[in-house]
Structure 1
Amino acid sequence: MSETRIDRRFKALKAEGRAAFVTYVMAGDPDYQSALAIVRGLPAAGADIIEVGLPFTDPMADGPAIQQAGLRALAGGMTLKKTLHLISEFREDDDDTPIVLMGYYNPIYSYGVDRFLSDATAAGVDGLIVVDLPSEEDRELCLPARAAGLNFIRLATPTTDDKRLPKVLANSSGFLYYVSIAGTTGAAAPSPRDVATALTRIRKTTDLPIAVGFGLRTGAQAAEIAKIADGAVVGTALVEQVALGSDNADAVKRVLGLAREISAGIRSVKKT
């Protein structure tokens, strides 16, 4: 594959001596324009890579906060086509920040894989995380995505043993997303000691950067992960700020405010 924005960003961060701040927000939550304002504001708030969630009716890996965010987006008329349009609008002002679409295969399958990859590439998408497509199904989307120049990012979990890990890593690119806890998004806080042990084992098998997510809510927690990982992923805590907002404008401010706080924690950790 040719070098992608994701590859370039991790290379630059390694030279800078710090971990990536990877944010997750739901497309269309609380509405299209507010979601666009959030995505546009995240780079200035410290986000290095932005994961944009695809709203789906049956998000089996997600906890209540992200499930509710997806339902709010769907109720507001958000679709995969509109999500790609949101990213293309973001790209009008930002050609550098990597964008990863994260979600489930059903909406992509319904849209049509070839059409989706063509439109996603044109919109400025850099990578995909499709949580319900295992490596055994790489011909469905992973291999076509790679051929289209998109990184296909896999998830590894505490239950991914040494026998399974090479299969997870097969055809993966961009980075590996390590799910720090067993369970759904936002379920509990990770143990830095357990994460460090897992990453030591995984790094024996891959040179891909490893970003750690699930359960990170504060700058202090993200800083602890930044000491041992190549990136810290925060999603549920940001998505929760939307529901806590008194109105849509306040929701945008709350999300970006928390992003700045967490970014400061990550940036306080310098690696040698």
Structure 2
Amino acid sequence: MTTRISARFTDLAAAGRPGLVTFITAGDPDFATSLALLKALPAAGADVIELGVPFTDPMADGPAIQAAGLRALKAGQTLAKTLDLVRAFRDGDGVTPIVLMGYFNPIYVYGVPRFLADAKAAGVDGLIVVDLPPEEDDELCLPALAAGLDFIRLATPTTDDGRLPAVLAQTAGFVYYVSITGITGSATPDADLVSAAVARIKRHTDLPVAVGFGVRTPEQAAAIAKGADGVVVGSALVEAVRASLDENGAATSRTVADVETLVRQLADAVRGVRRGAA
């Protein structure tokens, strides 16, 4: 089955360029601003959008994304409202892939069958659930695939060749390679090591490999893009949101504009990397 995600990466390969995957937190700093950001991302150059689902215990996330989640929760964001965001986005965009990224607890509380039905109906294309290993595939991964949602798995520098087949067995859409050991935004990835790691993963799968965690600047994005099918930028974007807020933590006229500017710079850098068409 062709999903928006697989279609987008097929188009990117045909165009001979890597993609830019952007992450923002749903509901940060409020629902309306979050929707405006979401709608602005594709025109600014985002090829795929990851939408973070706020959670009270985001163990894989660094300070910037943790703070974004807390701002969103304080503003009343819920999983149901996150699906409302996607639904509103789909009113004007039927092609840009959207991946929900988060943790299993909110989905479990919502109810897995109900969540999958509602997510699919809202226009979600894929899921990244960082605290569900392959051994728990029956909980969400397999039902998600059956519902037509890509289940995107994380591979890390410590995922060796013995573990990779289990990680990749039910992965769909793309593989998310975590370029550093640790939490989001905590270190700068080494482009040469990342390129070698992506090549190793590709010996085990035909899926595209997108690289994230620690990519902050256009220069870093371009360096990573040379060895990957996609570059994921998250902490830098949510930090741009934070830096634009007023003293009360409310959105200003700069909030959407500042994020748009950074995404355009990142997209220009990533799109400057060319490779032979697949």
Q: TM-score range by the shorter chain?
A: over 0.9
The answer to whether residue 272 in structure 2 is matched with residue 268 in structure 1 is yes
Q: Displacement, 1:49?
A: 0.2
Contact 2:210 2:229 in 1 (8 A): yes
What are the equivalent positions in structure 2 for 1:107-146 lying under 5 Å apart? 107-146=106-145
Q: Displacement, 1:256?
A: 1.2
Structure-2 residue corresponding to 1:53: 52
Per-residue CA deviation, residues 107-155 of structure 1 (Å, 9 max, x unaligned), is 0000000000000000000000000000000000000000000000000
| In 2: Cα distance, 1:19 partner to 1:159 partner | 24
Q: Displacement, 1:218?
A: 1.0
Q: Displacement, 1:264?
A: 0.5
The residue type paired with residue 32 of structure 1 is F
Structure-2 residue corresponding to 1:174: 173
Q: Displacement, 1:255?
A: 1.1
Structure-2 residue corresponding to 1:29: 28
Q: Displacement, 1:199?
A: 1.3
Per-residue CA deviation, residues 58-105 of structure 1 (Å, 9 max, x unaligned), is 000000000000000000000000000000000000000000000000
Q: Which runs of 5+ in 2 are unaligned?
A: none
Contact 2:186 2:214 in 1 (8 A): yes
Give the 3-state SS of the residue equivalent to 1:43 in structure 2: helix
| In 2: Cα distance, 1:222 partner to 1:85 partner | 31
Moved over 3 A (4+): none
TM-score normalised per structure 1: 0.99
What are the equivalent positions in structure 2 for 1:42-191 lying under 5 Å apart? 42-191=41-190
The residue type paired with residue 45 of structure 2 is G
Structure-1 residue corresponding to 2:259: 255
Give the 3-state SS of the residue equivalent to 2:20 in structure 1: strand
| In 1: Cα distance, 2:132 partner to 2:36 partner | 30
Give the 3-state SS of the residue equivalent to 1:139 in structure 2: coil
CA RMSD between the two structures: 0.7
**Identity between Structure 1 and Structure 2 (%):** 63
The residue type paired with residue 241 of structure 1 is A
The residue type paired with residue 175 of structure 1 is F
| In 2: Cα distance, 1:227 partner to 1:46 partner | 18
Q: Displacement, 1:252?
A: 1.4
Give the 3-state SS of the residue equivalent to 2:264 in structure 1: helix
Q: Displacement, 1:246?
A: 4.1
| In 2: Cα distance, 1:42 partner to 1:25 partner | 10
Contact 2:195 2:226 in 1 (8 A): no
